[in-house]
Amino acid sequence: MITIIGNGKMALAIAKGLKENIEIVGRDEKKLKKFSEITGSKYYLLNNFDITNKTIILATKPYALESLNLKGKAKEVISIMAGKKIDEIKKYIEAEFYSRAMPNIGAEFMASTTAIFGSDKTIEIFSKIGKAIKVNSEKELDIATAIAGSGPAFLALVAEAISDGGVLCGLNRELSYELTAGLFKSFSAIEKRKPSEIKDSVMSPAGTTASGYEKLEEGNVRNSFIKAIKSAYEKSQKI
């Protein structure tokens, strides 16, 4: 049994992906009922919930940590809250073991890339919803959050822009979206190749790709993405 505390979008994505014996805990009974209908899981109200000997996935908003009203000592607490260090979590929740993880919304489709700082049990759980990558420190986990956690939103911006470019050139919206989605699927299939290798294999001298790439460099796209990752990481340190 895995207990998920929190009933937001990420909690729902994890529950859908795990497809196993899960219970959900939260404050809003109406939302809990809807969550239960979707996942088939039991639900409980948060106030004074007993976590004794349970494996907890803590999926609340970071600001809600201080107001959690839990009793007992959990077997393990796995936090997916951005920026919240284990030492701070220990102040509010008692457990034998503590881990941190940062999945992304691909969890719903068992395609999350999840950074893990913690136990083998945590790796085992999140391996069921995609790829689990162990990091060596909480600092690395926070950096990974900027990539694996926030990254889907950044890539969504890229996908939308590419699709808009197709529409600008004359494609209808549906076809442009379909081609863009196919592009991302193709790219994921060659994930083991370095980005520079992929670029060099596509870009021929004075060709169409080189012409487009020049425009991306003129727009400082590369630098903007570097700054986006850095900004997301720095924000996690202030939560």
Structure letter (DSSP) for residue 63: G
Task: Copy the structure tokens of residue 86.
Answer: 């284990």
Fold of 152-236: ProC C-terminal domain-like fold (1.10.3730)
Fold of 2-136: Rossmann fold (3.40.50)
pLDDT on residue 238: 83
pLDDT on residue 112: 94
pLDDT, one tens digit per residue, over 137-176 is 999 999 999 999 999 999 999 999 999 999 999 999 999 9
Neighbouring-strand partners of residue 49: 70
In one letter, which amino acid is 27?
Answer: R
pLDDT on residue 21: 82
Confidence of residue 187 (pLDDT cuts 50, 70, 90): very high
Q: Please name which of 76, 71, 8, 80 lies closest in space to residue 38, comparing C-alpha atoms.
A: 8
Domain ranges of the chain: 2-136, 152-236
152-236 shares the fold of 2-136: no
